[in-house]
Amino acid sequence: MKNTPKRPLAATVILALGLAVTACSSDSDKTSAAGTASPEPAAVVHGHVHGLGINPADSRLYVASHEGVYTLGEDGTAQRVGNSKDDFMGFTVAKANTFLASGHPAHGTSGHSSHGLIQSTDSGKTWKTRSLAGEADFHSLDYAHGTIYGYDSANALLRVSKDGATWVDRAGLQALDIAVSPEDSDTVLATTADGVAKSTDGGRTFAAGKRPMMAFLSWVTPEALYGMDDSGGLSRSTDGGSTWSRAGSVPGGQAQALTAVDARHILAATQTGVYESRDGGKTFTKRFAVEAGDGH
């Protein structure tokens, strides 16, 4: 069956959200938020980045892209983890050595057009289908309170699962990303065309979205909810999204992924790089360069 690429759909959703697409800049690509130049890394990831995470088992950074999952090799270059060149999306590190993802098979390979939910228990070396192959296309996954929350873009639907095998359907909505409160399993946020929409009943219903407009969210502690707009502007909320303050700016153009590891440790991907901040977004260091490859 035909592989369904992510980027055209993501771009459509971003336009629907009313987010401005910002062209990349070679100057900003090498500059931290504070304006300090950082060296260009030798590590290069191929394909748009769809997810980021730190494995608690070894503290290594993993990058899920349109052409596989990458980590940093001993020689300082990007190494593809395992043999899969599939399009990984909705990627999240659930716990030590255990990753969850969705996506599509690599171009030219057979199988379902979408993977549904897949899981790796060996840090991305091998993957197994858990459920919904050919039925769901999770563009955003969050693991919190022992529960998997997934936004199924194929069906415009929030779905939740305790075991990764059986799912309960929640609200239908058009969204790009979701985030679950680390304190309250019933509080779920989603980025929509009207702004950040909030649910207080576990995603069964959502209130109308409120500005500011965000492309991606990551909620790591009750006082550290981060949001990134489409051009890389980073904001932080200490009250669950009621109010926001500017935290910094991620270099490199259009936003692609955001993960907060803790209240000050932030991973972000933009059009031309994967960046890391350890000071709450004040400054960023480029960890990987990104080459978009086929443009999806």
Q: Average pLDDT for residues 173-189, to the nearest whole number?
A: 97
Check pLDDT > 50 for residue 232: yes
Which residues partner with 101 through β-bridges?
A: 118
47 conformational bin, left if phi > 0, alpha if psi -120 to 50, beta if neither: left
Please, what's the b/e burial string for 156-188 (b: 16 or more CB within 10 A of its CB; e: otherwise)? Answer: ebbbbbeebeebeebbebbbbbbbbbbeebebb
Check pLDDT > 70 for residue 185: yes
Q: Confidence class of residue 113 from pLDDT cuts 50, 70 and 90?
A: confident
Strand, coil or helix: 28:
helix
Question: Residue 229 CA to chain centroid, in angstroms?
Answer: 13
Query: CA angle, 232 as apex, 251 and 219 as ends, to 5°?
Result: 120
The whole-number pLDDT of residue 111 equals 66
List all residues 6 or more positions away from 55 whose beta carbon is below 8 Å from its beta carbon. 62, 93, 96, 97, 99, 123
